[in-house]
Structure 1
C-alpha cells in the first residue's frame, strides 16, 4: 500500500512539473507609438530604459489603460464620452501603443515554452529579446496566436516582450448609424464600437491586448485543441437509472522538435482510461482519434429548469519515458442536442437528451463594452439569466465570439448558447441605409479579408466547441456571411470541427422560424400593450422581441449627474444625458399610475411597467407553447454600457423589475391570467405530468378585503398548457371603480404553494386610480444571516392592512447604505397579502460583515433593517 501511495504521489508530481501555465497579467507598461523612437528589436532588449512609461492594463484595451491612469474620464458616466477623442478623427496613431512586459523564464533541456495570445485588436507585431516572433503581421480581433519561444529565451532567464498594437484599419465614422457608417465591418472586429441604438461609440474601438496572454511549458510534445462529442440516444429523464452514453474524443498532438517522439496519448474520465500509442515525426502535428467510450449510468447535463448541470472532469495526456509530456484538462457535460422541425408551428424545435425544450432566451451583447472581463462578472451575469428562469442566451453577431469563461458559467448554470458569427445586417448590407458610406453590394462582401475570417472561425470553433452549453451556430445577425464564407462554414469547417450542432444561416432565417407575417422576421421592439403578447401572433421562434428597461433610482444615480436627474415626459425631448444614454419613452404606460412627480417617482413607476411588460411577454409566448411558438429570445437582457433600454440588470449588476417580472412569467410551473379573456391558465414546462393540483383565484380590493373567486382540482400533462377556468364574470361582479388585485395560486396536496402570481388591474377607465390612493401598509421586516453569503428576509403584513404592494428588497452596507452588488434574490418586487408573510433569500459574495436590508414599496415606507 505504501509503495502504491508513493507511486501516485510521484505521478502527481510529474503532472505538476509537466503542465505549467501562467498568465502574464501584471507588470505591463505602455507608451504611444509617437513617443517611442526605437524599433521593436531595440525596445525588447532588457537594456532599454522604460522610465516614464505608463502602467498598462493587460488583458485590456487602450481606453481601459487610459481610464485607469486617469488620462480620460469615465466614458460610462453622463456625457463624459464626448470628452474623449475618437479614433476616426484623431487617426489611428492616437490609439496605437507599444506594450512591454518583463518576465522570468529559462529554457530547460527537453522543455518547450509557448507564448499564447487569446485576443488582440486589431493588428500586432511581437518582439522578444531583440527578435521578431511573427514573420507575418498578426491581424484580426477574433483569432488566437501562439509562438514557440524556447529558442528566443534569454540564458539569464530575464526576458522582455514588446508588442505594438494597431487599431482597426477602418474604425468607421461614428455618425449615429448602426455601426456608424458601416466601414468598421471591413475588418474582423467588433462592429458595435462605432455606435448602435443602445450604445455610444467606444473611442478606441476596443484596441489593445484585450484577452489573456499565457506562458505554457511542455516537454517535447504539445497537446492542444481536444474535441469531445457526447452521444445520449433515446428519450431521457433527469432522474433514475440511465442507459449508457457514448464519448468520442480526439486531440491534436504537435511535435515541435527535430526528433521523432514515441509515446502514449490517453484520456481519463469517470474512472476509465482510453489510450493509443503513436510515433510522431519531427516538426509534425497530427490528430489522434480515440476509440469510442461507453459510460454506464451517466449523470447527464440538462438546461436550467429541466434537470441538473452535471459535469465530468476529463484529462488528456501524452506520456513517454515514464513522464507526462503535456496534458489538457476540461469539463464535459454528457448531453445530446437535436433539432426537429415543428410542422405545426413552422419553426425549429430544440431537443436535449430526447426531450423537447421550449426556448426562453435572452440576447447578449458583451459583458463590458471596454472588455473588462472577469470570471466573477461572467458568473454573476449568467446566474442572473438563470434567475430569470431562462434556458438560452444568444450571442449577437456585432460583438465577439464569447470567451471560454463565459461558456464555463453557462455550463455551470445550464444556459444553452446560440452563437452568431461576426456579421450584422446593419453593417453587412442587408438594407439600403443612408448612414452608410458604401453601397449594399460593397457592404455585402465585408469583411475585406475572407481567408482571415475562415481562419478565425476555425480557430474559435476549436476554442469553445467542447462546452455542453454551446447549442447552435449562426452565420450572422439578420444576414448571412458572403457565399464564399458561408459555404465553407456549412460544408467544411463545422462538419469537420464539430458536426454535432445545428447551423442557422442567419438569426431570423426561415429555417429557424418560417416568416409568413411579412417584415424582418423578428421584433416587435419597444414597449407593448401586455395584451398583445397574448393575442397577436408573431414569429414562431422569435430571435428578437422586446426592449424597455430603465433601472430604479439608485441605478440612475450611478451614471446620471444630479442636475440631469429629471423625470422624462412623454412626447417631449428628454434631457440630453437621458437621450445620450438611449432612453426610449414609455411614459404613456407610466402615466396611468399618475404622472411622475420627480425622477424617484418616475423610476418606481417604471419598475411597475417593467415587471408587467416582461411577465406578460413570457406568459403570452408560454400560453401558445407548441401551438404558435417553439420559443422566443428577448431583445435584450443586458447592457455592456450604461444604456437606458433593454436590460434586466444594469451595467453595475443591479437588477431591476424586468428581471423579476420575467422570472415570474418564465416559471417552469406557472399559473397565469389571460388579460384578454381572464382565463386562468397553467403552463408546465416539466417532462412529467402533475396530478391533484389545486388552482385557486382570489381578488383583493384597495382596502385589503378578500373576495374569494374559485378554486378547483385538476391535472396537467408534461410540457403542456391547460386553460383551467375563466374569472371574467367574477371580476365584473366586483366593483372595479378603483381597480383590483387578483391572486392566483397552485397548491399541492399538502397545501404548499407551487406557483403564485399577483396582478393589479386598472379601473374602468384604464387608470390605476385605486393604487394612487392606496393606504399605507406598515410591514414588519426581519433579516437573518443563515450562513456565510446567505441572508433570509421575512416581510409580514398584518391582517386588516391593505395589500403591501410591490416591495423592493436590497442588501446594503449598513454604514454607506450602498447596495451590495451583485446580490441574488430568489424573488423581488413582491406584494404581500393581508395577514400573510413572505421570506426572501438573498445570496452574495465578498460583502462586508456589517450588513443591513433596505425595503421600500408602493405603499410601504422605506426602512433599513440590520441583519442579525
Structure 2
C-alpha cells in the first residue's frame, strides 16, 4: 500500500502544470530513459561508456533528476526507507565506503550539430557531489566537477554527433566525507566538511539518508541559442514611500541587467532588450569574443504598478517580463523569461521590542512564519509538490517560510510557489551550529576548533553561494539571507559573502549573520534565541515573554490514525503508554522520532487513550490548541513584545512524528487548522490567563462597525450570551475588549465549557469565528468525556471541477457537534485524496447552526469521490458528492 500511495502521488504531481520561470528560448529537460550502473566492477573508461555503441542493456533504469537511493527504490532493489524500520536494513555509505554508491549514469538523446551561428549547451543544475562528464567518447570536463550546489554549463556544440544520435555519460561520486550517522545532530558532524546537505547524516527529526543523496539530483537540460547567450538575468524593483494594496499607485522603478556570453570566437554586435507590461528598454552593445559581460539597462519607470504583497496583506501580483538579445538588433539569439513581483523590502530596528521588523512597500509586516527543511529528504522534488506545500502554508495564514541551513538553497520552483502565494522567504546558507562547532558535543568526532573551520573547501563554499544567489535572486518572495543556522561562518567566508558577494550580486535583502543573532532579536532574557520546543502550557504563550523575533519555537505534530497507518506496520500500531518515569513506545514510533514526553501530560485530561485511533484523535485536540495558542499569544503582543515568530517546524521531508502541520504524504493534521485560526488576519482571541477577549488586526486597514458576540455552550448545547457589542480595531494593532474570566470560570467549573467568539459585519456576515473548549476547574475535560452524540446532517456537492462544498447542519436540540474532521476520499480505495485544501477543518457546529466548508483538490483527481467525516461526538459517516 505504501509504495502504491507514493506512486499515485508522483503520478498526480507529474500531471499538474506549474509555470517555470527563467526558461530559455529553446530548452528541454533530459528527464527520462536514463540508465545507471555501479562504477565498482566496470572496467571501461568514460570515453568507452559514452560511445553510442557501448552496450547498456543490462544496466538499471535510472531516475534523473534523482539520487542513487531513489533509483534503487524505483527499481525495487531496496524497500521504502520511509516505511517502518526499512531504513535500518539499507546499507549506509559510512559502513560500505563511497564506492558502494558511486554510479555511472547514461542518457541517449537526439540533437544535431547546429549551423555555425547556433550553439548547444549542456546544463546541470545540481550533482552531488563530484562528477566526470563524457559525451560521444570525449570528456566534457577537463577535470572532475566538485560541489553539490554549484551549477554546471558546458558548450557541447563541437562534441555533438553529426548523425544527431548522442550519448551522455556522467560518473557521480558521493561527497568525500559521508559522516558517521551515530545519532547526533548531523551524525558525528563531519558531514559538514563538504559543501552539501547536513541533515543526511541524521538529526533529531530524521534518520540518516543512506547514500547521503548522491546523484544527479536536479535538472539536466539541453539549451539551444545563437552566438550570444543570456545568463543570470537580474531584476530589482524600487517602490518608494508607504503604499496601500488598494487604489492608484505612484510609479515604481525597474532596474534590469543580465550577463551576456559571447560563445563565438569573433566580436558580436547587438541589442539587449527588456520588456515588462508593454514597456521596453534597450541597450546596444558589442561583445568581445569568448567573453561573458554583465550589461545593465537604463532604469524603467512602471506607472500605477500592481504591487506584490505578502499573504494576508494584499494580492501577490506578478508581471511577466522578458530579456532578449538581438544580433545586429534583428535576430533573436536568446531570450529569458522572468516573473517579476514589484515590491520593496526594508528592515528597521524596533526599540520597543528590541528586535528587527520587516516592511514591504513601506508597511510593517508582523512575521508569522514556519521553518522548512526540504520538500523531500531523498530530493524527489516536483513543481506540483512545491505548489501544494506552499499552498498549505498560505492556508495556515502564515506569511514567511524559513529554509533551514542544514539543507539547501531552495529550488526556483519552490520560490515560484512562494511568489504565487505571497510567502516571504528567509533563506539560510549551508551552516549549522550543531555541526559547525557552536557547542561542546560528545557525539561529534572533532573538537569545536576543528568544526569551526568546516567546510574543508572555503573557496567552493563562496563560489557555490554566489551561484545560488544568482539562481534565485529575482524572486519577490526572497526577503532575508542568513549566513548560517545558529552560527555564522568563519570570517574568511562571512566577510566576503556579506561585504563583497552579496553586495555585488543582490544587496536588496536583509542579510543576517546567523539565525538567532542579536541583530535580529536582542535576547535580553538570555539563551540562544531558539525554542522552547515541544508542547507548552497554553497560558505560557500569553503570559511568558520570550525572544522578540524567535526563529524557532514549538515542535509537535503527530498525525491522525490514517496518517500513522501510511508508515507504521499494523503490528506496531500500539498505543503509547506513559508513566511518571518511562515512556513505553513501540520501536517503530521511536525510530520515526516520536517524543512521548510531548503528549504525556496533554492527553490525560481527555481521558486515557483507549486505542491508537483514540490516541491519535486526542493528539489532534492537543495539536490544534497548541498552535492556535502559540500564534495568538505572539500576535496579541505584536509591536509590544514581538515583531515576529517562526515555528519549528511546519513540514517534514520524511515520515517523522513531530514538527509538522501536514504529513509527508501531504495530509494535514489539526496543527494546520489550529494555526490557521490563530494566525487569522482579523480575529478575536481569548486570553486564558486573565479572561480577556482581545481583537487582533493583522491588516493595514481599520475594521469598523463589527458586532462582537461572546457566547458559551454547556455540554447539553445550552448557550449563554456574555456580550454582544459593536467594536472597531485599528490597522496592524491589538485591542483588549473585555475580561470574562469570572463568568467563564463559573460556567466551566464542573464540566468545562465551550466558548464562541464571533465577529460579524453589518450584513451579519461572519468575519471571524474562534471556538474554544475549556477544561473544568481541575484542568480536565470531564464534560467532553461524557458529552452525548450529535446527529450532524452532512451533504456535499461538486461546485466546479476541483471544488466541493460541504454543508454541516446540527439540530437545534443537540449538543455541540465537536471537532469534526472532513476528508475527500476515493470511492474505490477509500483512501484520502491528497493534497486537499479545506477552508476549515477539525471544526465544531453549534446547536441549530449550519456551516459550509469549501474543499479544493487537484483538477486531475478522479471524479469517483466521496466525503468522509468523523468527530468527537459525531459518528463516522461517508456521504456521496452530488453534482
**Are positions 1:789 and 2:797 aligned together?**
no
Residue 474 of structure 1 corresponds to 482
Partner residue of 2:585? 574
Aligned to 1:45: 51
Q: CA deviation at 1:733?
A: 3.6
Tell which deviates more after alignment, 217-226 or 709-718: 709-718
Compute the displacement of 1:290 (Å): 0.6
The counterpart of 2:295, out of the listed 288, 293, 307, is: 288
Cross-structure match for 2:873: 859
> 1:850 corresponds to which residue?
864
Measure how far apart 1:573 and its partner are. 3.1
| 8 Å CA contact 1:567, 1:602 repeated in 2 | yes
| Residue from 772, 775, 788 that aligns with 2:788 | 775
State the shift of 1:735 in Å.
5.5
> Per the alignment, in what secondary structure is the counterpart of residue 408 of structure 1?
helix
Q: SS of the counterpart of 2:584?
A: coil
The question of 1:506 aligning with 2:519 is answered no
- Taking the aligned partners of 1:171 and 1:188, their CA distance within structure 2 comes to 12
Distance 1:765 1:18, change over 3 A: closer
Quote the residue 2:619 is aligned against: 606
Alpha-carbon contact 1:18-1:219 (below 8 Å) kept: no
Q: What residue in structure 1 maps to residue 825 of structure 2?
A: 812
**CA drift at 1:736:** 2.2
Rounded to whole Å, the distance in 2 between the matches of 1:808 and 1:18 is 45
Q: In 2, distance between residues paired with 1:484 and 1:800?
A: 72
Kept in 2: contact 1:590–1:606 (CA 8 A)? yes
Equivalent residue for 2:285, pick from 278, 281, 286: 278
Of 507-516 and 841-850, the range deviating more from structure 2: 841-850
2:815 alignment counterpart: 802
Q: Give the match's secondary structure for 1:867.
A: strand
Q: Of the candidates 173, 179, 182, which is equivalent to residue 172 of structure 1?
A: 179
**Mapping of residues 738-757 of structure 1, within 5 Å:** 738-757=751-770
What does residue 234 of structure 1 align with? 241
CA deviations over 1:546-596 (Å, ceiling 9, x no partner): 000000000000000001001112232311000000001112100110000
Any residues of structure 2 matched to 1:112-511 within 5 Å, and which? 112-321=119-328, 322-511=330-519
Q: Within 5 Å, which residues of 2 pair with 1:527-546? A: 527-546=535-554
Measured against aligned partners, the alpha-carbon deviations of 1:697-728 in whole angstroms (never above 9, x if no partner) come to: 11100000011111221211100000001111
Q: Secondary structure at the match of 1:275?
A: strand
Are 2:182 and 2:443, in contact at CA under 8 Å, matched by a contact in 1? yes
Secondary structure of 1:34's aligned partner: coil
Deviations 1:353-396 (A, max 9, x none): 00000000000000000000001100000000000000000000
For this pair of structures, how many residues does the alignment match?
Answer: 853
* TM-superposed deviation, 1:315: 0.5
* Correspondence for 2:654 among 618, 636, 641: 641
Q: Distance in 1 between matches of 2:802 and 2:744?
A: 44
Question: SS in structure 1 opposite 2:627?
Answer: helix
**Quick one: which of 644, 654, 662 aligns to 2:667?**
654
Cα shift readout 1:132-163 (whole Å, capped 9, x = no counterpart):
11112111111100000001111111111000
Aligned 8 A contact 2:748 2:775 in 1: no
Match status 1:79 vs 2:85: yes
Q: What is the aligned partner in structure 2 of residue 6 from structure 1?
A: none
Matched-pair contact (CA < 8 Å) for 2:124–2:153:
yes
1:625 to 638, 641, 656: 638
For 2:321 and 2:41, the matched residues in 1 are separated by 49
Instruction: Compute the displacement of 1:97 (Å).
Output: 0.1
Q: Contact (CA 8 Å) 2:424, 2:478: kept in 1 or not? A: yes
| In 2, Cα distance between equivalents of 1:711 and 1:625 | 26
Q: Report the secondary structure of 1:743's partner residue.
A: strand
* CA distance, structure 2, for counterparts of residue 773 and residue 573 of structure 1: 28
Give the corresponding residue for 1:111: 118
CA drift at 1:694: 1.5
Cα contact 1:262–1:320 (8 A) shared by 2: yes
| Separation in 2, partners of 1:178, 1:407 | 27
Task: Please say if residues 355 and 522 of structure 2, whose CA atoms lie closer than 8 Å, have aligned partners that are also in contact.
Answer: yes
Counterparts in 2 of 1:837 and 1:716: CA distance versus 1, 3 Å = same
Matched residue SS, 2:528: coil
User: Is contact 1:18-1:324 (8 Å) kept?
Assistant: no
Residue 492 of structure 1 aligns to a residue whose secondary structure is helix
Structure 2, unaligned runs of 5 or more? 1-22
State the distance in 1 between where 2:851 and 2:706 align. 22
TM-score (norm 1): 0.98
In 1, Cα distance between equivalents of 2:271 and 2:57: 50
Runs of 4+ in 1 over 6 A off after TM superposition: none
Q: CA deviation at 1:204?
A: 0.2
Q: What is the CA-CA distance between 1:18 and the residue it aligns to? A: 9.1
Query: Which stretch of structure 1 is more off in the superposition, 75-84 or 517-526?
Result: 517-526
8 Å CA contact 1:18, 1:325 repeated in 2: no
**Distance 1:623-1:18 versus aligned 2 partners, 3 A rule:** closer
Q: What is the alpha-carbon distance in structure 2 between the residues aligned to residue 45 and residue 716 of structure 1? A: 72
Residue equivalent to 2:595 = 584
Instruction: Give SS of 2:517's match.
Output: coil
In the TM superposition, what whole-angstrom CA distance separates every residue of 1:74-104 from its partner, at most 9, and x where no partner exists?
0000000011000000001110000000111
Q: 2:123 and 2:182 mapped to 1: Cα distance?
A: 36
| Equivalent position of 1:551 in the other structure | 559
Question: Quick check: 2:93–2:101 contact (8 Å CA) kept in 1?
Answer: yes
Q: Distance between the aligned counterparts of 1:598 and 1:714, measured in 2?
A: 46
* C-alpha distance in structure 1 between counterparts of 2:647 and 2:439, whole Å: 23
The separation in 2 between residues aligned to 1:741 and 1:103, in whole angstroms, is 65
Residue by residue over 1:154-213, the C-alpha shift from the partner in whole angstroms, topping out at 9 and shown as x without a partner, is: 111111100000111000000000000000000011000000000000000000000000
Which consecutive residues of structure 1, in runs of 5 or more, have no partner in the other structure? 1-16
How far does residue 815 in structure 1 lie from its aligned partner after superposition? 1.7
The equivalent residue for 1:91 is 97
Separation in 1, partners of 2:748, 2:880: 41
Mean Cα deviation higher: 362-371 or 321-330: 321-330
| Partner Cα distance (1:467, 1:568) in 2 | 45
Q: What CA RMSD, in Å, does the superposition of the two structures yield over aligned residues?
A: 1.0
Assess if the C-alpha contact under 8 Å between 2:24 and 2:336 holds in 1. Answer: no
Decide whether the 8 Å contact of 2:24 with 2:223 is kept in 1. Answer: no
Q: Distance in 1 between matches of 2:463 and 2:718?
A: 68
User: 1:848, CA displacement in angstroms?
Assistant: 1.1
Distance in 2 separating the partners of 1:650 and 1:79:
18
Tell me the distance in 1 between the aligned counterparts of 2:880 and 2:150: 50
Cα distance in 1, alignment partners of residues 198 and 662 from structure 2: 23
SS of the residue corresponding to residue 40 of structure 2 reads helix
Counterpart for residue 564 of structure 1: 572
**CA shift at 1:732, angstroms?**
3.3
Quote the Cα distance in structure 2 between the aligned partners of 1:727 and 1:19: 64
Instruction: Decide which of 15, 29, 38 is 1:32's aligned counterpart.
Output: 38
Distance 1:202 1:145 in 2: 25
- Residue by residue over 1:490-537, the C-alpha shift from the partner in whole angstroms, topping out at 9 and shown as x without a partner, is 110011000100100000000000011111111000111011000100
| C-alpha separation in 2, matches of 1:824 and 1:35 | 49
